[in-house]
Amino acid sequence: MARAKSTKIKVRSAGSADRSLGIMIRTRRKEVGLSQSELGERLGVSFQQIQKYEKGVNRVSVARLSEIAAALDCDISLFTGAAAGDAKLTPHMEFAASKDGHDIITAMMRVGNPELRRSVIALARTLAEAFPG
pLDDT of 87 reads 54
Q: CA nearest 79: which of 88, 71, 69?
A: 69
Rounded to an integer, what distance in angstroms lies between the CA atom of residue 70 and that of residue 116? 38
Which residue did the predictor score with more confidence, 79 or 87? 79
pLDDT of 58 reads 93
Q: Does residue 16 surpass a pLDDT of 60?
A: yes
Rounded to an integer, what distance in angstroms lies between the CA atom of residue 46 and that of residue 26? 15
Residues in CB range of 94: below 8 A, 6 or more apart: 23
Per-residue pLDDT reduced to its tens digit, 27-79: 899 889 999 999 999 999 999 999 999 999 999 999 999 999 999 999 898 88
Q: For the residues 102-112, what does the mean pLDDT come to?
A: 89
Which residue did the predictor score with more confidence, 93 or 122? 122
- Read off the CATH number of the domain in which 63 is found: 1.10.260.40
At residue 125, what is the residue type? R
Query: Residue 112 sits in which domain range?
Result: 98-133
pLDDT of 68 reads 97
Q: Does residue 95 surpass a pLDDT of 60?
A: yes
pTM of structure: 0.62
Query: Does one domain contain both 23 and 52?
Result: yes
The structural domain count of the chain equals: 2
Q: CA nearest 36: which of 15, 17, 22?
A: 22
Q: Is residue 5 part of a domain?
A: no
DSSP character for 8? P
